[in-house]
Chains A and B, each alone.
Chain A
Amino acid sequence: MTINGVPREADVWPGESLLFALRERLGLPGSKNACEQGECGSCSILMDGTLVCACLVLAAQADGHDLVTVEGLGENGSLHPVQEAFVEAGAVQCGFCTPGLVVAVADLLRRDPTPSDDAIREALSGNLCRCTGYAKIFDAVRIAATRA
């Protein structure tokens, strides 16, 4: 498989999730494990351009596919515009949900560069945050939308 543009291989146990393989075998702990059952969105990644919860994909299923994780969003060590907007808007508190959220927002803005409030609510309602109260996440999406 390709991860963040780099061909990667891993020996995995057949029942293992892609999230586990990313975090514990491939040295990519940015995607967070907060529920292990697709309820919180903290492990959101892009698989062939489609937003998925890495905890719901078997590692073996990812064979031959193209993955982008939070570590691969920014280019050459700089922040992705969505990450920049999160920092600027103060949309980060404890930050455990942030990696999944920035991937989900990047996906949203690619599909819909000027999302309405309702579109933002719809797209991000699967990404749970327990700290910020989401208000600044709205701000971050709006900031990022003006720059994309």
Chain B
Amino acid sequence: MADAPQRARGEAQYTADVLLPGMLHAALLRSPHAYARVKKIDVRRALEAPGVHAAVGPEDVEALTDEPGFFGAPVAAIAANTVEQARAALELIDVEWEPLEPLLDPDEAVRRGQLTDEPRRNERGDFERALADADVVVEGEYRTQVVLHNPLETHQSVCRWEGDTLEIYTSTQYIWGIRSRVAKQLGVEPDNVRVVCNYMGGGFGAKNDPGEYTYVAAELARRTGRPVKCALTRREENLAAGNRNATIQRLTVGARSDGTITALGGEFVNAVGWDGWIAPTDGPMQTLYHCENVRTVTYGAKINTAPMKAFRAPGYVEGTFGLECLLDELAARLDVDPLELRRKNYAHSSNERPYSSKNLMECYRRAEPHWERRHELRTRSDSTWKYGAGLASQIWYGGGGPPSYAWTRVGSDGRITVITAMQDIGTGTRTAMAQIAAEELGVPLDRVRVELGDSARGPFASISAGSSTTPSMGPAVRAAAADAKRQIIEIAAQRHHLEERVLDISDGNVVSADGNLSSPLEEIVGLLENAQILGKGARGPNPTGMQVLTFGVQVAEVAVDVETGEVRVLRVAAIHDVGRVINPLGASSQVEGGIIQGIGHTLSEQRLLDPATGTVLTQSLDAYRLPTIADVPEIVCELIDKPDEHLTNLGSKGLGEPPIVPIAAAIANAIRDATGADIHSLPITREEMLRALEAAKQKQRGAPAAV
């Protein structure tokens, strides 16, 4: 990665490292109740505490509330000389709480009609009739838990007013979104908000919006006339910084005896929390397979838990777990090979629109040798450890889109700077953009530098979310490089009295087709002395009438200790189709990172609540169990690397999210293969595994399974 040395040396400046002269530190008072009313709040004692400069409450900042709807909801904030002083002063805020009865059960919320939005219904064909006509029907209820993003850099902002301009240094996935949201909220002109994010320590979807910490820092900075930093602690990060919401999925599949799927139905309850949106948990059921009769309804349950935020393929991670487990249960019922079942129900075209490109069948073909390993794998089983393999398919977005802009500046020294006001979420954005510019301009990679991260120093750029960074920004950078190249060739043609069409740039030299001219770029551009060549580029539209999607399949191998319930993931083969791959090393790192995050989701991660009070019990990284290096299996990554001919001048789709989509189902299906137990709930803790094994035993004996 181009900027890896800076990061490895500890020189990269993150928001956490921003220290401005005279900067104050803010701390937030958060609700100790899952649901309460603030009857009275008095900050006078806090204001007299040592080092304290200002305090704000629900009346001062809209992001603070006097009716907290979840444990950890922000209520008030203090700015002091040091963060310790601010935290100490929080204790002196006098609050009279009126605790209210929290609602924590999402099904109950649906029954009561306490919803975040209208239920979302998607229907095609005649589901009921197809189900009645089906040879076999399989039903299942699947549950997924709340998991937390826990980026290593917590959510934070530093705000400073310079006259009527607000400078925001913030850890964000969307510089321009912060700019427009804050401008709107504070009633200032967008041009009077400058947003800076040079380096950020991870986001995974949780850092798309400003957040209370930004608004609080802005208001406290306004009141004190000093820069204010508001950084969440790890504890706060685990309470109120967003999450992947829990889901309950009640699924039905009807099929003919030959394995043709004829009906798919699902009722999805998304436990959205106190606020948030309904992620498309029904998406995989609607789009992954060819099926004429599909009926889904998705409810957003408004309950007294922290609001969900986008988390790496929101909805599709959860929905793929349910659907792909259901499909393997169907395969088992029909005694059909799970890979064959998926091929048989392949969607060659979407119901509405053609795909811009789809190579899922090729992914399946490449999965075969990995899938074949299961026969040998199973023979390793003994009375305690059972071995097996499972697979699951992946569908997700990742095409990106306009608008996005980039500039290229070519100096008389022949060096190139790519300028765009995008952010790097930490995925190697600078490297990918430099590679694209270097390739287009025909110069070595080390001649190109990428400047990003500042809304005042570059054109509009898209969000780093939805696997869109490369497909949205890459084409703009390529177009900007092409614009600069055209100008360079024009100069060279004039200088050497040649036609432009015979000239090209290769390995840093302007060359003619007949080989007679080979002039270093700096000699041509050097003719301009202090003048510079400026290239401009914009992201073009996506192909009209087409669906731009990513596809893949993963094969997981597991070992299960049937005595203790321990599950070990031994090997994962990940085969994905994301169009053209720009940086193979960075791409495989994305795949590995997605798989490990998915293994955490599948086996160990879970935000736990006290079921009576709604208090969050997992407030630290000790209690909330992220995967460590000890949990890493063998990962084999294969990318189809075939440019999408319909998609932009680059043919690349995004890769941030696809790898996390199928892993939970692949592991659950491998567990079924190894033990015969059906997994219906995440995470697959030892207790859950033992419960599933017991249920499988009961089922074998013909007794009704304990649920």
Contacts and interface: CB of A to CB of B under 8 A. Distances in A.
B14 A86 contact: no
A37 B202 CA distance: 20
Given A132-B589, A135-B632, A86 B597 contact: no
Given A128-B628, A130-B626, A136-B589, A36 B204 contact: no
Contacts of A90: 1, 4, 585-586, 588-589
B190 interface: no
A122 to B, nearest CB: 7
Given A94-B152, A127-B629, A34 B1 contact: no
B106 interface: no
Given A30-B10, A94-B152, A98-B8, A13 B589 contact: no
Interface string B413-452: 0000000000001111000000000000000000000000
B153 A96 contact: yes
A124 B425 CA distance: 24
B154 A34 contact: yes
Nearest to B2: A87
B204 A130 contact: yes
A87 B200 CA distance: 18
B199 interface: yes
Interface in A122-144: 122, 124-138
B150 interface: yes
Contact of B4 (A13, A35, A86): A86
A40 interface: yes
B597 A35 contact: no
Contacts of A24: 19
B597 A70 contact: no
B152 A134 contact: no
Interface in B1-32: 1, 3-14, 16-17, 19
Contact of A136 (B12, B14, B150, B592): B592
A83 B14 contact: no
B234 interface: yes
A71 interface: yes
A39 interface: yes
Interface in B151-199: 151-154, 199
A98 B7 contact: yes
A130 B626 CA distance: 8
A133 B593 contact: yes
B8 A92 contact: yes
Given A30-B11, A130-B152, A83 B5 contact: yes
B635 interface: yes
Interface string B317-337: 000000000000000000000
B596 interface: yes
Contacts of A145: none
A15 interface: yes
6 contacts: A40-B621, A70-B10, A83-B9, A92-B1, A133-B589, A134-B629
Interface of B: 1, 3-14, 16-17, 19, 82, 84, 149-154, 199-202, 204, 233-234, 425-428, 585-586, 588-589, 591-597, 620-622, 626-630, 632, 635
Given A94-B151, A136-B592, 7 more contacts: A23-B17, A73-B9, A83-B5, A87-B1, A95-B201, A96-B202, A99-B8
